């Protein structure tokens, strides 16, 4: 039996290869058009992996900051003794009554890379003898951060020596017109050339910066442990011996209930100070030579004004001092410091009023003055600072002072005075 083979159906015409390819491409496009929206709606769909965008470099103009302040003063209102002076404070006190420009600071900060910070500070106004208004370098240093969190760094150059709270506090922040004699006589001009280091926990750094940034009159961020090796002759003075000074400071800001902050510090330094020829009076003896032991220890306790603030610092030690009985510069004891009370009053429109009262006492020499001039100081200052706007501050204070300051040119000199001081500070 014959079986008939079935045949496949035939098309009336054949497709060319080009039309076949075009048809396949069209079908694929249609399929993608239908499938793609549906795939996009799938909750578990995963986008294709891609490299994260490269971080944008910080513009050069964001790596620099420029700031500063200027202080205009009138110190002799109601002055009753023109012979009352303070060479290490404000040299326009006493003598001829005058308006003065106490400071005109300009500070440049540069951050060339994340691990390095550079600070350059100049003072456009100061005086040398009878000359005024010259340019002086106040700070020039570089900070090299040792960790990514910037909790530890090395500071190299002309910088503040870590000794004392008020010494480290900026003059643009401090309430009293001048630093106290006792603490400041240890590090005249607060600065020297050397190598310094700072370390602190992240929490401590944050609190110390808050004390300054939140108008609590902080001293800046010097961490928990700071210290350094430096020349020891003072800012902008050449080293005069082969010995270096060494300073060490231990400090911690404790946060108390209700957000109050108490900072406790202990610090000290030692070295050799040379009384150079420009600081000697002819005929004044130096039986122990002109190289003197220079060493001190100090304690500080600071309660930030929130709203009540209390500050106390005291130091003890040895250093050069003029002895009028022997007409000689000798090694002698030093003893002095201050106690201060402050109140912080917040007013409408961002204004702030800071009434304050400070009493200070000091007995000892000042190594950077003529013959290591001998001082006995008791002084009371009552004042108030008024922040009018961010750029303008007004300060007024009444001062009652008794000062004995004696050297080879003036071996018997005790002065007392009462006067009022005024200051206008511009911040920029």
The domain spanning residue 394 has which CATH number? 2.40.160.10
**Is position 367 within any domain?**
yes
pLDDT band at residue 48 under the 50/70/90 scheme: low
User: Does 7 have pLDDT greater than 90?
Assistant: no
- Residue 243 and residue 390: Cα distance in Å, rounded? 45
Mean pLDDT of all residues in 28-46: 41
Contacts of 29 (CB under 8 A, 6+ apart): none
- Residue 184 and residue 229: Cα distance in Å, rounded? 18
Tally of structural domains, the chain: 1
Choose among 126, 153, 165, 147: nearest CA to 339. Answer: 165
User: Does 9 have pLDDT greater than 50?
Assistant: no
pLDDT band at residue 376 under the 50/70/90 scheme: very high
β-strand partners of 362: 336, 377
**Predicted pLDDT at 3:** 41
- Residue 224 and residue 226: Cα distance in Å, rounded? 7
- Residue 185 and residue 161: Cα distance in Å, rounded? 13
**Is position 15 within any domain?**
no
User: Does 197 have pLDDT greater than 80?
Assistant: yes
Q: For the beta carbon of residue 59, count every other beta carbon within 10 angstroms.
A: 7
**Predicted pLDDT at 50:** 64
- Residue 98 and residue 82: Cα distance in Å, rounded? 12
Mean pLDDT of all residues in 19-32: 38
Choose among 394, 298, 307: nearest CA to 342. Answer: 307
β-strand partners of 406: 374
β-strand partners of 332: 319
**Predicted pLDDT at 237:** 93
Specify the pTM.
Answer: 0.84
Residue with tokens 């009262």, as numbered in its chain: 357
User: Does 91 have pLDDT greater than 90?
Assistant: no
Mean pLDDT of all residues in 38-48: 45
**Is position 42 within any domain?**
no
**Predicted pLDDT at 92:** 85
Choose among 334, 398, 344, 405: nearest CA to 369. Answer: 405
**Is position 382 within any domain?**
yes
Contacts of 333 (CB under 8 A, 6+ apart): 316, 317, 318, 363, 364
Do residues 211 and 245 touch, judged by C-beta distance below 8 A?
no
Integer Rg of the chain from CA: 35
Mean pLDDT of all residues in 18-34: 38
- Give the rounded percent of residues in the chain with a pLDDT score beyond 70: 87
User: Does 244 have pLDDT greater than 60?
Assistant: yes
Mean pLDDT of all residues in 87-107: 88
**Is position 354 within any domain?**
yes
Length of the chain: 428
Q: What is the dihedral of CA 224, 270, 229, 174, to 10 degrees?
A: 50
Weakest-pLDDT range from 82-91, 282-291, 313-322, 403-412:
82-91
**Is position 54 within any domain?**
no
Do residues 109 and 119 touch, judged by C-beta distance below 8 A?
yes
Higher pLDDT, 415 or 1: 415
- Cα 169 to chain centroid distance, Å, stands at 6
**Is position 31 within any domain?**
no
Mean pLDDT of all residues in 327-334: 97
Weakest-pLDDT range from 86-90, 137-141, 175-179, 356-360:
86-90
Mean pLDDT of all residues in 351-360: 98
Do residues 298 and 166 touch, judged by C-beta distance below 8 A?
no
**Predicted pLDDT at 28:** 39
Do residues 233 and 267 touch, judged by C-beta distance below 8 A?
no
User: Does 353 have pLDDT greater than 80?
Assistant: yes
HSE-CB at 62 with a 13 A cutoff on CA atoms is 5
- Residue 249 and residue 297: Cα distance in Å, rounded? 10
Mean pLDDT of all residues in 8-18: 38
**Predicted pLDDT at 60:** 73
Highest mean pLDDT among 46-60, 133-147, 326-340: 326-340
Q: What mean pLDDT value characterizes the chain?
A: 88
**Is position 293 within any domain?**
yes
- Cα 374 to chain centroid distance, Å, stands at 30
User: Does 35 have pLDDT greater than 50?
Assistant: no
**What's the domain range around 305?**
60-427
Residue with tokens 């098309």, as numbered in its chain: 11
**Predicted pLDDT at 38:** 39
User: Does 223 have pLDDT greater than 70?
Assistant: yes
- Give the rounded percent of residues in the chain with a pLDDT score beyond 90: 75
β-strand partners of 421: 397
């Amino acid at each position: 039996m014959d079986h008939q083979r079935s045949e496949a159906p035939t098309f009336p015409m054949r497709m060319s290869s080009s039309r076949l390819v075009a048809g396949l491409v069209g079908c694929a496009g249609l399929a993608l058009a239908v499938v793609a929206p549906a795939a996009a709606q799938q909750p578990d769909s995963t986008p294709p992996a891609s490299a994260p965008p490269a971080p944008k470099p910080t513009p050069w103009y964001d790596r620099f900051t420029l700031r500063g302040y200027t202080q205009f003063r009138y110190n002799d209102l109601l002055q009753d003794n023109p012979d009352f002076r303070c060479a290490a404070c404000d040299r326009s006190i006493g003598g001829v009554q005058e308006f003065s420009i106490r400071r005109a600071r300009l500070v440049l900060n540069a951050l060339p890379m994340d691990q390095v910070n550079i600070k350059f500070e100049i003072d456009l106004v100061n005086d040398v003898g009878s000359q005024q208004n010259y340019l002086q370098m106040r700070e020039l240093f570089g900070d090299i951060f040792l960790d990514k969190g910037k909790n530890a760094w090395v500071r190299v150059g002309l910088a503040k020596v870590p000794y004392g709270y008020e010494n480290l506090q900026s003059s643009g922040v401090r309430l009293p017109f001048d630093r106290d004699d006792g603490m400041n006589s240890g590090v005249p001009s607060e600065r020297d050339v050397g190598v310094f280091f700072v370390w602190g926990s992240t929490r401590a750094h944050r609190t110390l910066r808050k004390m300054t940034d939140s108008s609590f009159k902080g001293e800046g961020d010097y961490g928990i442990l700071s210290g350094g090796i430096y020349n020891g002759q003072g800012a902008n003075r050449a080293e005069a011996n082969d010995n270096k000074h060494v300073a060490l400071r231990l400090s911690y800001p404790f946060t108390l209930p209700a957000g109050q902050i108490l900072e406790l510090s202990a610090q000290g330094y030692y070295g050799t100070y040379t009384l150079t020829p420009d600081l000697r009076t002819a005929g004044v003896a130096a039986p122990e030579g002109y190289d003197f032991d220079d060493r001190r220890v100090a304690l500080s306790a600071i309660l930030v004004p929130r709203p009540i603030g209390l500050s106390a610092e005291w130091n003890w030690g040895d250093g050069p001092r003029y002895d009028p009985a022997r007409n000689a510069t000798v090694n002698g004891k030093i003893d002095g410091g201050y106690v201060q009370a402050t109140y912080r009053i917040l007013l409408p429109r961002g204004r702030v009023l800071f009434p304050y009262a400070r009493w200070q006492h000091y007995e000892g020499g000042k190594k950077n003055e003529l013959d290591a001039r001998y001082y006995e100081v008791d002084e009371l200052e009552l004042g108030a600072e008024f922040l009018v706007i961010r750029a303008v501050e007004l300060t007024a204070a009444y001062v009652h002072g008794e000062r004995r300051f004696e050297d080879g040119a003036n071996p018997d000199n005790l002065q007392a005075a009462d006067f009022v001081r005024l200051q206008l500070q511009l911040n920029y």
